[in-house]
Chains A and B, each alone.
Chain A
Amino acid sequence: MRRWLAPLLALLALPLLTGARDPILVPEVSQHEVDLQQGFTGTELLLFGAILTPEGSRAAQDYDIVVVLKGPTQSIVLREKQKVAGIWINAASTEFRSAPSYYAIASTRPIADIVDDKTAAIYELGLKWLQLSPIGAINPAEQVRFSEGLVDLNRHNGLYREEEGGVKVSEQVLYQARIGLPSRVPTGTYTAETFAISKGRVVASASSQVEVRKLGVELAIAHFSQDYGFAYGLLAVFVSVGMGWLAGRLFALV
C-alpha cells in the first residue's frame, strides 16, 4: 500500500466511525444577499434550521445551538484617547490584522455554561475570544485593554453583538435566531456558522454565506467616486453650482 493511502482511507472512514453519534444539522439563512440601497435602514437576518439525531428523530433537547455571523476581517489601527494637558487626544494606538468588520453570536444558553474557555477560544465563540491578531509586541495587559476597547466601540456601533439566549428552539427540532444588521454594516462576504454542542464538545457544525453588497445607483456612486475621482469631483461642483444658480433664478421669479 502506498504511504499516502493509509491516512486518506482513515480520513474517509472518519465520518463512518464518528457519524454514528453525531447529529444532523440542517442550517439555513433567511436571505443570502443583503442589498445596501435607498431605503435600507438595517435589517434582520433569520438564521434557522433543524437538528436531528442520526436516526432522524428530534434531537434538540440534547444539544446546545450556537450561531455566529461574521463579516470579512480587516486590518485596522485602533487609537485610544487620553487626557493630555486638559484635552482628550489620541495618545496611544495599536494595530490589529484580523478584526472582523461584523460579528454576532447567539446561543441557546450563556456560552460559559455551554463550553469551556479552551473550546470557546478555538471556535471563537464570543466577543471575548475573537482572534484579532494584534501587530507588534505589546504587553498582555495592554493587549487586553485594546481588544476590549475595540469590542466596546463596535458594540456601541451595533457591529458586534452577543445574544445569550438568542437562539430559540421549538418542538425540539427547529432552532432559530434573529440577528440584526445596522445600516452602517460593511460590505463583503459574511459567513454564517452554526454549531451543535453537546457536553462541552462541538459535535456538528455547518456554514453558509451571506453576501452584503451595494447595488444599482449606490454601487455606481461608490465605484465612480473611487475610480473616477476627477469626473466625480466635477459632477459634485456642477451639482452645487447648478443648484445654487437655480435657486437664485427661481426665487427671483417669486
Chain B
Amino acid sequence: MDVYLPIANLSVNGLIIVGLGAITGLLSGIFGVGGGFLTTPLMIFYGIPPTVAAASAASQVTGASVSGVFAHSRRSGVDYQMGSVMVAGGILGTGIGALLFNLLEKLGQIDTVISILYVVLLGSIGGLMAKESIQAIRAERSGVPIAARKRRHHPMVASLPMRWRFYRSGLYISPLAPLLLGMGTGILTMLMGIGGGFILVPAMLYILGMSANVVVGTSLWQILFTTMATTMMHALTTHAIDIVLASLLLFGSVTGAQIGAMFSQKANPVKLRLLLAAIVLLVAARMALGLGYRPDEIYTMAPL
C-alpha cells in the first residue's frame, strides 16, 4: 500500500508505518511509556527526514497516552495539581526546545545533538532499569526481598524555596522542582520527539519522591499535554508535521496500545521491565554505532 506523504515529500509503504506504530503502541500499552523513543529513530532509519519524523512522532505519543490518562484518572491515579505544574513546565520547555531546535538547525548540528541525547539518555536510563530488574529477579529467585527504598525526595529538591502541599502525591515540596522537571522533558519532547515517560517516571519516584500509585498516571497526564504543546509548536515553527504520516502511525499505535494493555495484565512486571530495558539499550547501542561508524553519506544538504 503506497502512500504519498505530502509534507515529507516522498512515498512510503503505509503498512510499514502502521506496523511501526503498532510496535511502539504495544510497548506503550505494556510498559506505560509513550514509545516515541522507538518511533523517531525507526522512521529516520526508514528514510523519513529527521525533522518530519520528530514532529510527527509527538502526535503519536499524544494518541497513545490518551486512553492511559482516562484509565488512571478513573482509579484516581492522577495528581492534577502536580500534573498541571509539570504541564506548565512542559509548555515552557517546548518553547525553549523550539529555540534550541532552530539554533542547532542553523548550526547544522541538530542531527548529532539528537543522536548524542539518545545515546546518553537511553543508555543511562536503560542501564539503570536493567540493573534494577536483574536485582529484582535475583531477589525473587533467592527469596530474599530487597530492602524497600525509603521514599524521600532528593536533598536538592528540599533546598528549593517556596513549598506547596501536593495531597495526592503525599508531598510538601517546592513547585519549582516539578516545574523544572516538566521543562526538561518538554525540551526533550521538542528535540527528540519522545514523550519522556521513561525519564519522568524514575525522576518522579526518586527525585521528587512521589507516592507510587500516582506516578504513572501523573506522568501520562504531563506527557499528554506536553506532546500536544509540542505538536502546536512544530505546527507553528518547523511546519514539519506530516498529518498523513501521523495518522498512519496513530492508527497502528492506538490499536497496539490497547492490545499491549491487555497483555500487560497477564505478564510478570519484573520481566517486562527487563525486556523494556533491553529494548532501550538496543536503540541506544544502534544510535551509538551510527555516531561512531562512517555514515553511508557524509554529505547532507539543507535549503538556505
Contact = CB atoms under 8 A, between A and B. Distances in A.
Contact of A41 (B2, B108, B257): B2
A248 B6 contact: no
B232 A234 contact: yes
A240 B60 contact: yes
A96 to B, nearest CB: 8
Interface string A224-249: 01100110111111011101111110
Given A88-B298, A239-B250, A244-B67, A232 B228 contact: no
Nearest to A151: B299
B162 to A, nearest CB: 32
Interface residues of A, number: 62
Q: B-side binding surface: helix, strand, loop or mixed? A: helix
A236 B2 contact: no
A152 to B, nearest CB: 7
Interface in B122-150: none
A77 B302 contact: yes
Contact of B11 (A41, A221, A229): A41
Given A156-B297, A221-B244, A233 B67 contact: no
Given A232-B235, A243-B251, A79 B299 contact: yes
B297 A153 contact: yes
Given A41-B11, A78-B299, A244-B62, A236 B304 contact: no
B62 A87 contact: no
Interface stretch (B75-83, B85-93, B200-208, B287-295): B287-295
A39 interface: yes
A38 interface: yes
Interface string B233-252: 11111010101101100110
Interface size class of B (residues with CB under 8 A): 35 or more
A222 interface: yes
Nearest to B243: A236
B112 A89 contact: yes
B243 A239 contact: yes
A150 B255 CA distance: 42
**Closest CB pairs A-B (n = 7):** A233-B235, A244-B66, A248-B67, A247-B254, A183-B11, A244-B63, A75-B304
Given A39-B4, A93-B108, A239-B243, 20 more contacts: A36-B4, A38-B3, A76-B302, A81-B299, A87-B291, A90-B109, A146-B299, A153-B301, A182-B10, A229-B235, A230-B232, A230-B235, A233-B235, A233-B241, A236-B59, A239-B247, A240-B231, A240-B250, A243-B63, A247-B67
Interface of B: 2-4, 6-7, 9-11, 59-60, 62-67, 70-71, 108-109, 111-112, 116, 228, 231-237, 239, 241, 243-244, 246-247, 250-251, 254-255, 257-258, 262, 291-304
30 contacts: A40-B11, A41-B11, A77-B108, A77-B302, A79-B299, A79-B300, A81-B295, A81-B299, A90-B109, A90-B300, A153-B297, A184-B9, A186-B9, A218-B4, A232-B241, A232-B243, A233-B232, A233-B241, A237-B59, A237-B232, A240-B60, A241-B63, A241-B228, A243-B251, A243-B254, A244-B65, A244-B250, A244-B254, A248-B67, A248-B71
